[in-house]
Amino acid sequence: MFDKNMTFYGKHANYLRQLAPSKISGGSVEQRKSIFDNNMQVIELASIIGFIYKRKGEVDKDVNIPPNNIFLEQVMKIKDTLELNYRVIMLLDGKNKLSQDERLDRAFRYDRDEERRTAGDKIFLAYLLGGIELLYEELIEDSTSTEDDYENLCRFVKSYYKDNESTATSVDDILKLCNQVGI
């Protein structure tokens, strides 16, 4: 898992460029500071944001927007975080539809079997793309300055805490599952 380049297409490529502008990808010296320093920071967060907000995206292959490539060297720097995010999502997604054993299989037992892991990979990618969309919409879309970006971030974080004050049991659920499999 997470042992190859990651390529984002269409609007997701564009959203990543706007969430973490890079002088390497054509940003100017005058460009404003972003909340994220690089694409990897966005990627680390986006899948979890997509899952928390139940937001799934679909690959957009708009050929008029150049793809945004994250090379293997960069992916490897965040591989542990991506794997953790993947496992958490596989454990919790489908909680009411799949048995605990099926979720544990997706999270841990299919790592080296690409064919059996495909369904989980598609779920993870959908949440990752949905998270990128949500972060873009909440933080950048209507922003015209760095100050706007930070105000949007504060509003987004406050909204999250307000909406999720009483549902902080997910960590307990994860720990319970991990204890059952000896992790």
pLDDT per residue of the chain (183 residues) written in tens, 0 to 9: 798 999 999 999 999 999 987 655 454 544 567 788 899 999 999 999 999 999 999 999 899 999 999 999 999 999 999 999 999 999 999 888 988 888 888 888 888 888 888 889 999 999 999 999 999 999 999 888 888 888 998 898 888 877 766 555 456 666 665 666 555
- Domain residue spans of the chain: 6-180
In 3-state terms, what secondary structure has residue 44?
helix
Q: What is the reported pTM?
A: 0.83
pLDDT computed for residue 25 by the predictor: 45
Tell me how many helices (H) and strands (E) the chain has.
Answer: 8, 2
pLDDT computed for residue 149 by the predictor: 86
Residue that is written with structure tokens 């909406």 in the block: 163
Residue 6 is encoded by which pair of tokens? 């990651």
pLDDT computed for residue 169 by the predictor: 47
Q: Which residues contact 12 (CB under 8 A, 6 or more apart)?
A: 57, 59, 60, 68, 129, 132, 133
Beta strands in 42-112 (DSSP E): 68-70
